[in-house]
Amino acid sequence: MYMQIARKMPGVNPGIFSSAIDSSPEPTKTLVIPIIPYSQAQNSTDEVKNISDKSSQILSPKPDFLLLNPEKSLVETFHATSLQGISESTTTIQEPLEILESPVTRIQINPKESSIDVEFTAINPPEPPPIDPPKPDKKPAEIIKLIIPGVVVPKARPRVTKNGTYLPPRYRAWRNRAEVEIYRQISEQNITHKFPLRKAAIVIRLLGNHRTNSDIDNLAGACLDALTLNGAGVLIDDRLSCLPQLTVEFDPDAKKTGVSIEIEPL
């Protein structure tokens, strides 16, 4: 049967099948690979079948590889029992890679020797803060200084008689003398403020030998009454709204007896 198949296939020698009979009682399969040109095998319509009853395979008319000599063929015989557990393994042999030098010459740059100055400009630069206009220098407050010599007579209560109300003669004499002294000193000073002052801070200093048993509020009250509209007319009134700050001091060691008054317009 092999020889009949071989006769129909061009380029196959039928004599190679004379010893193809296997003496093994087990079923075998015979793989016949004719070594023929691919063009002749493509035109052939004959098929090589397996003679085994258990497995039948048909070989593809297109061989996996081509042999250079068409006059030779390869016949391999395998037992069916020896095919179990056999796996084909292929080992790929990689050729060692050859490292080639780059034709480009590498340039080494020392960062310490070479520096590049780059100026960055912000896309949206922040707006500079607004500059406040320079404030004019604050002028020192103009302070009015007055000195009334002599011992201050404490403020006395008005006396009521059938002829009317009057002040004690001693207190009335000191008030007249204090108002005249205030008029004279203010006229001698170059004061730009207009009188009477609506708001001011006053410091009263009692200097020298004054009666220590006198009430300090009566002594300060006598000085304030001499400054109001009923007196010299420097202050519009001695109420709290017109006089938010009042300081009263006593210096018994002063050489001259009198009262010093400092007025700061507000």
Q: What is the pLDDT of residue 23?
A: 45
Tokens of 51: 């003679």
Domains and CATH numbers, the chain: 2-83 (no CATH), 144-265 (3.30.1330.70)
Question: What is the signed CA dihedral for 187, 189, 195, 196, rounded to 10 degrees?
Answer: -90
State residue 173 phi and psi, 5-degree precision. Answer: -65, -45
Q: How far apart are CA 171 and CA 157, in angstroms?
A: 10
Q: What is the pLDDT of residue 84?
A: 47
Question: What is the signed CA dihedral for 143, 148, 152, 153, rounded to 10 degrees?
Answer: -110
Q: What is the pLDDT of residue 92?
A: 60
- Residues 93-147 pLDDT 10s: 667 777 776 666 666 666 665 555 556 665 676 777 888 777 776 666 788 999 9
Element (H, E) at 260: strand 258-265
- Residue 46 binned pLDDT confidence (cut-offs 50, 70, 90): very low
Q: How far apart are CA 57 and CA 2, in angstroms?
A: 16
- Residues 139-191 pLDDT 10s: 667 889 999 999 999 988 777 777 777 788 899 899 999 999 999 999 888 88
Beta bridge partners of 149: 258
Q: How far apart are CA 179 and CA 145, in angstroms?
A: 14
- Residues 199-253 pLDDT 10s: 999 999 999 988 888 888 899 999 999 999 888 889 998 888 889 999 999 999 9
Mean pLDDT over all residues of the chain? 71
Predicted TM-score (pTM) of the model is 0.47
Q: What is the pLDDT of residue 50?
A: 43
For 189-248, the DSSP string reads S---S-SSBSSEEEEEEEESS--TTS-HHHHHHHHHHHHSTTTTSSBS--STTT-SEEEE
